Amino acid sequence: MQPLDDGQQRAVQAAIQAAQQAYAPYSQYHVGAALLAADGRIFTGCNVENASYPAGICAERGALAKAVSEGARDFSLVVVATQNGGSPCGICRQSLLEFSPAARVLCVTFEGLVHVDSTVAELLPFGFSPRSLI
Ligand code: THU
């Protein structure tokens, strides 16, 4: 595994911390996400569930909405933190592909153990992206 630099390590810690804000009374599955933007800023998110289940949102897309609304669109790293190092769902892979196919993706446990070290494009092979519309 490629060693993590300072910014990447900060992103890992930020994702783990973000999971503490998860609102997951239905699944009890807490997720934290952190996006490291090209300018060094880190945007975090957590899953926010809803009594009307489909209205819930994943941690990754929460972080992405924050980032894009703050002017960040280019990400070098996506960190997802869960109890078991689970990887992003299909919808989140699609949302991330829109902005940063080359971004590295780290799926870590709350103890910081890396379960997945990949890229957005690798996680969604033959994905539909802005280039597909040309
Ligand atoms: N979840 C995420 O936040 N990100 C993912 O990529 C996978 C699933 C959330 C959605 C729901 O709140 C809980 O995890 C269980 O599916």
The CATH number of the structural domain formed by 6-133 is: 3.40.140.10
* Residue from 49, 60, 70, 98 carrying the catalytic annotation: 60
Q: What number is the average pLDDT over the span 67-77? A: 98
pLDDT at 63 (0 to 100): 98
Cα–Cα distance list, 115 to 6, 48, 83, 133 (Å): 20, 23, 11, 33
**Cβ contact 33:78 at 8 Å:** yes
- pLDDT exceeds cutoff 90 at 37: yes
Q: Does residue 70 carry a catalytic annotation?
A: no
Q: What number is the average pLDDT over the span 59-72? A: 98
- pLDDT exceeds cutoff 90 at 31: yes
Q: What number is the average pLDDT over the span 57-64? A: 98
pLDDT-based confidence at residue 88 (cuts at 50, 70, 90): very high
Q: Cα(38) to centroid of ligand 1, in Å?
A: 25
Q: Cα(1) to centroid of ligand 1, in Å?
A: 26
**Matching residue, tokens 């810690």:** 13
Domain ranges of the chain: 6-133
Give every strand in the sheet of 42-46, ordered side by side: 42-46, 32-37, 75-82, 104-109, 114-119
Q: What number is the average pLDDT over the span 29-58? A: 98
pLDDT at 25 (0 to 100): 98
Span 101-118, pLDDT tens digits: 999 999 999 999 999 999
Task: Give ligand 1 pocket residues (Cβ under 6 A).
Answer: 24, 27, 29, 31, 47, 49, 56, 58-60, 88-89, 92
pLDDT-based confidence at residue 28 (cuts at 50, 70, 90): very high
- pLDDT exceeds cutoff 90 at 1: no
